[in-house]
Amino acid sequence: DDALVQAIESTSQCGKILDPSGPFGDCLEVVDPTDYYEACVFDMAFHEGTVPELLCESTQAYSDACVEKGVPQPSWRTDSFCPMQCPAMSEYTQCVSPCPATCADLQAAEKCSPAEPCAEGCRCLVGFVLSGDVCVPADACGCFTEGRYHSVSIQHKVYN
């Protein structure tokens, strides 16, 4: 169907990868977008445009290739184009620290090497830290006993 292929090739879908004025404009000369674009169009057309995850996977693959070659993280996600779903009390950001503050180490970010690159992802909102893979209020963290961290949800019996 020509209309379907036209829609898929447009800059609102797979064509976003090729758009020199789009989010990947700085990468087009660094990483050849042809294979990523063609894979995107093929996959989307094969599934008749019904699997939007394929569009996001192709776009993510090109974004990753750009970052790998030293191009700054392209800002390609929006609320309406491949939004990243973040858990409660967290938000999407283009540059998440690889060393987020956690209940087990509230100062983790301060100890992080500047050489550690950031990546897109979800980060806890201000006042919240990671406890496992959940963001909790910093004052709701568990405690340490004998050098081991215990989350609030775990109960221990202490014998004297």
Do 10 and 63 lie in a common domain? yes
Residue whose C-alpha is closest to residue 138's, from 113, 114, 102, 107? 102
* Domain assignment present for 160: no
* Domain assignment present for 96: yes
* Domain assignment present for 159: no
Do 64 and 97 lie in a common domain? no
Do 8 and 49 lie in a common domain? yes
Do 11 and 61 lie in a common domain? yes
- Alpha carbons 67 and 23: distance in angstroms, whole number: 13
Q: Could you list the pLDDT tens digit for every one of the 160 residues in the chain?
A: 899 989 999 999 999 999 999 999 999 999 999 999 999 999 999 999 888 899 999 999 999 999 899 998 889 999 899 999 999 999 998 888 889 999 988 888 888 887 777 788 999 999 999 998 899 999 989 777 777 776 766 555 555 5
Range of the domain at 113: 90-150
Do 118 and 64 lie in a common domain? no
**Domain end: 35, 68, 101, which one?**
68
At 154, list the tokens: 């775990």
**Residue 16, pLDDT score:** 96
**Residue 113, pLDDT score:** 80
Residue whose C-alpha is closest to residue 117's, from 60, 67, 62, 57? 67
**Residue 49, pLDDT score:** 86
Q: How many domains does the chain have?
A: 2
* Domain assignment present for 108: yes
Contact by Cβ (8 Å): 83, 91: no
Q: In sequence order, what DSSP letters do the residues of 41-81 get, joined into one string?
A: HHHHHHTTT--HHHHHHHHHHHHHHHHHTT--------SSS
Please, which residues have CB within 8 angstroms of residue 63's CB and are 6 or more apart in sequence? Answer: 24, 73, 74, 76
Model-level pTM? 0.74
* Domain assignment present for 118: yes
